[in-house]
């Protein structure tokens, strides 16, 4: 039985992925910051749960010792833990910026750094780093979330070159707004009293809410694709884009170029 570590497995895409892998022949090491938040996952067959705060090197190292004591090999790590922060640059707050960077980017760095030696000794392993369509295109009010996802893309591609000789594969996965609780948990800047800002926040939040409601099949599509990736690791760095929205955005951005793509986004938001 193969074994996968999934960070941020207490809810959302992480929980859905843990369930799918565990019911399809994999043993899942589900990590989360609090067992109470992961009640639907903790105790499932083929699932072992551990506390990991991906922002803390100490937390990762402590869990790593427990994990390796209980599991002989690790076949794949899905770096899924992530949060959102929707704010205007002018109204952004240092602590909120630091927190999203620590979770979305530095968390991937720290988990990778901790488990590369494990994969290197095994002479195989796979990092599947959850990015977002936000890692490939730029959209309004995404200054901080998009920046962290672009950082995950760059980090993953650069790291992949280092690990080629050790049979360790690296991939990233981009998708749009899945119908999970993620959007409801996104931290937003407060209403500012600046008409332009407040109206734009309302528009973006409404657009994302509508998109999320429409993507009824996206979660299952994501979990199945992640399962396929884990079972078929590629030697060279690979990006996977899942869902109609993400693929449409990717094609538009690559085919139209920056100026036309930017014009379409402005017209769709500011009309």
Q: Residue 245 — pLDDT band, cuts 50, 70, 90?
A: confident
pLDDT (0 to 100) of residue 255: 80
What is the average per-residue pLDDT within 77-92? 95
> What is the Cα–Cα distance from 114 to 108, expressed in whole angstroms?
10
pLDDT (0 to 100) of residue 117: 98
Please choose, from the candidates 156, 151, 135, the residue with its C-alpha nearest in 3D space to the C-alpha of residue 234: 156
pLDDT top residue among 152 and 134 = 152
Cβ 6 vs Cβ 63: under 8 Å: no
Q: What is the mean pLDDT of the chain?
A: 92
pLDDT (0 to 100) of residue 216: 76
pLDDT (0 to 100) of residue 189: 84
pTM of the predicted protein model: 0.92
Whether 120 shows a pLDDT value over 80: the answer reads: yes
pLDDT (0 to 100) of residue 263: 83
Calculate ∠ Cα 222-206-180, nearest 5°. Answer: 30
pLDDT (0 to 100) of residue 271: 62
Please choose, from the candidates 238, 257, 252, 208, the residue with its C-alpha nearest in 3D space to the C-alpha of residue 86: 208
pLDDT single digits (tens) 202-243: 888 888 877 777 777 899 999 999 999 999 999 999 999 998
pLDDT (0 to 100) of residue 253: 80
What is the average per-residue pLDDT within 80-103? 96
Q: Which residues pair with 77 in a beta bridge?
A: 5, 127
pLDDT single digits (tens) 65-76: 999 999 999 999
Q: Which residues of 35-64 are buried (b: 16+ CB within 10 A; e: fewer)?
A: eeebeebbebebbbbbebbbbeeebbeebb
pLDDT (0 to 100) of residue 184: 66
Query: Which residue reads 């980090």 in tokens?
Result: 155
pLDDT (0 to 100) of residue 45: 94
pLDDT single digits (tens) 164-201: 999 999 999 999 888 776 766 788 888 888 999 998 98
pLDDT top residue among 122 and 244 = 122
CATH topology for the 3-270 domain: Rossmann fold (3.40.50)
Q: What residue spans define the domains of the chain?
A: 3-270
Cβ 46 vs Cβ 40: under 8 Å: no
To the nearest whole percent, how much of the chain has pLDDT over 90? 70
pLDDT (0 to 100) of residue 210: 77
Report the range of poorest mean pLDDT among 54-58, 105-109, 156-160, 209-213.
209-213
pLDDT (0 to 100) of residue 192: 83
Neighbours of 217 (CB within 10 A): 12
């Amino acid at each position: 039985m193969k074994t996968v570590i999934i960070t941020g497995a207490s809810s959302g895409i992480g929980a859905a992925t843990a369930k799918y892998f565990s019911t399809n022949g994999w043993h899942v090491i589900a990590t989360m910051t609090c067992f109470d938040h992961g009640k639907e996952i903790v105790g499932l067959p083929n699932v072992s749960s551990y506390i990991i705060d991906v922002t803390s090197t100490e937390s990762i190292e402590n869990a790593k010792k427990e994990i390796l004591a209980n599991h002989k090999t690790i076949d794949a790590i899905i770096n899924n833990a992530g949060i959102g922060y929707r704010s205007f640059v002018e109204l952004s707050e240092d602590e909120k910026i630091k927190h999203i960077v620590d979770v979305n980017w530095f968390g991937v760095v720290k988990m990778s750094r901790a488990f590369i030696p494990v994969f290197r000794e095994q002479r195989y392993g796979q990092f599947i780093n959850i990015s977002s369509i936000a890692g490939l295109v730029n959209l309004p009010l995404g200054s901080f979330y998009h920046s962290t996802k672009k950082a995950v893309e760059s980090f993953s591609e650069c790291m992949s070159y280092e690990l080629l000789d050790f049979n360790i594969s690296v991939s990233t996965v981009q998708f749009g707004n899945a119908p999970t609780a993620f959007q409801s948990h996104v931290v937003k800047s407060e209403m500012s009293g600046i008409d332009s800002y407040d109206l734009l926040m309302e528009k973006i939040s409404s657009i994302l809410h509508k998109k999320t409601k429409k993507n009824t099949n996206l979660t299952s599509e994501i979990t199945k694709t992640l399962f396929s990736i884990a079972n078929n690791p590629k030697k060279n760095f690979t990006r996977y884009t899942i869902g109609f929205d993400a693929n449409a955005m990717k094609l538009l951005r690559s085919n139209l170029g920056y100026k036309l793509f930017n014009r379409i986004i402005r017209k769709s938001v500011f009309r």
